[in-house]
Amino acid sequence: MSYSSNPGTIDEGISHPVDDPNTHYIDTVVVKINGTTVITETYTSQPDANNFHHEYPITADTNDEILVTVTCVEGGTSSICLKLGVGSCSTSEPPSIPGFPGLWVVVGISLMILLSVNYRKLRNMATQT
């Protein structure tokens, strides 16, 4: 990603090789400046089978953080952040599936509780007969 102040544009180039750019493509691009969404673009195809390249009009100042997040129609997500006058940003966006490892912990505990309750019910039924 690069930024040009005259005129105010970011030039976003993404390597995204695909077999068919009409069915597998970058479908969403979100541009944020200092955490505020300034552009959301959706697409229905990719310009060619290897790359996705577009320019977006924005206005930004030195030390502003420009974050561009792209999403593939098949679900992949990638982000790049540029701090004007500095280079890359020191912080990054949260993972695309926040808390995903915690989800497995919750599912595992829930299964253990469910099995324990069913085991007790079966054991109580066996002792009553």
Q: Which CATH number fits domain 2-95: 3.30.450.40, 2.60.40.10, 1.20.1250.20, 3.30.1490.100?
A: 2.60.40.10
CB-based contacts of 129, cutoff 8 Å, min separation 6: none
Q: Which helix (H) or strand (E) holds 20?
A: none
pTM over 0.85: no
Q: Which residues of the chain have pLDDT under 50?
A: 93, 95-98
8 A C-beta contact, residue 71 and residue 15: no
Report the pLDDT value the prediction gives residue 97, as an integer from 0 to 100: 47
Instruction: Read off the pLDDT of residues 83-108 as tens digits, 9 standing for 90 and up.
Output: 888 777 875 545 444 455 665 666 77
